[in-house]
Amino acid sequence: MSDWVIEPPELPSVSVAGGGRFPVRRIFCVGRNYAAHAREMGADPDREPPFFFSKPADAVISSDHVPFPTATRSLHFEMELVVAIGRGGQAIAIEQALEHVYGYAAGVDLTRRDLQDEAKLLRRPWDMSKGFDASAPIGLIVPTLQTGHPACGRISLSVDDAIKQDGTLEDMIWSVPEIIAFLSKLVALAPGDLIFTGTPDGVAAVERGARISGSIDGVGTVSFQLV
Ligand code: MN
Distance 9 CA to ligand 1 centre (A): 26
Distance 10 CA to ligand 1 centre (A): 26
Cα 193 to Cα 23: distance, rounded to the nearest angstrom: 8
User: Is position 1 within any domain?
Assistant: no
Distance 199 CA to ligand 1 centre (A): 5
Distance 89 CA to ligand 1 centre (A): 24
3-class DSSP string for 23-71: ECCCEEEECCCEHHHHHHCCCCCCCCCCCEEEECHHHEECCCEECCCCC
Residues 107-138: pLDDT tens digits? Answer: 999 999 999 999 999 999 999 999 999 999 99
Residues 69-85: pLDDT tens digits? Answer: 999 999 999 999 999 99
Distance 4 CA to ligand 1 centre (A): 36
Residue 87 has pLDDT above 70, yes or no: yes
* pLDDT computed for residue 175 by the predictor: 95
Cα 121 to Cα 115: distance, rounded to the nearest angstrom: 10
Domain CATH for 166? 3.90.850.10
* pLDDT computed for residue 145 by the predictor: 95
Residues 134-155: pLDDT tens digits? Answer: 999 999 999 999 999 999 999 9
Of 9-23, 28-42, 128-142, 182-196, the range with the lowest mean pLDDT is 28-42
Distance 30 CA to ligand 1 centre (A): 6
User: Is position 132 within any domain?
Assistant: yes
Does the pTM surpass 0.85? The reply is yes
User: Is position 6 within any domain?
Assistant: no
User: Is position 58 within any domain?
Assistant: yes
Distance 6 CA to ligand 1 centre (A): 34
Domain count, the chain: 1
User: Is position 216 within any domain?
Assistant: yes
User: Is position 5 within any domain?
Assistant: no
User: Is position 7 within any domain?
Assistant: no
User: Is position 17 within any domain?
Assistant: yes
Q: 55 lies in which domain range?
A: 13-226
Give the β-pairing of 79-85 and 101-108. antiparallel
Contact 138, 63 (CB under 8 A): no
Distance 53 CA to ligand 1 centre (A): 9
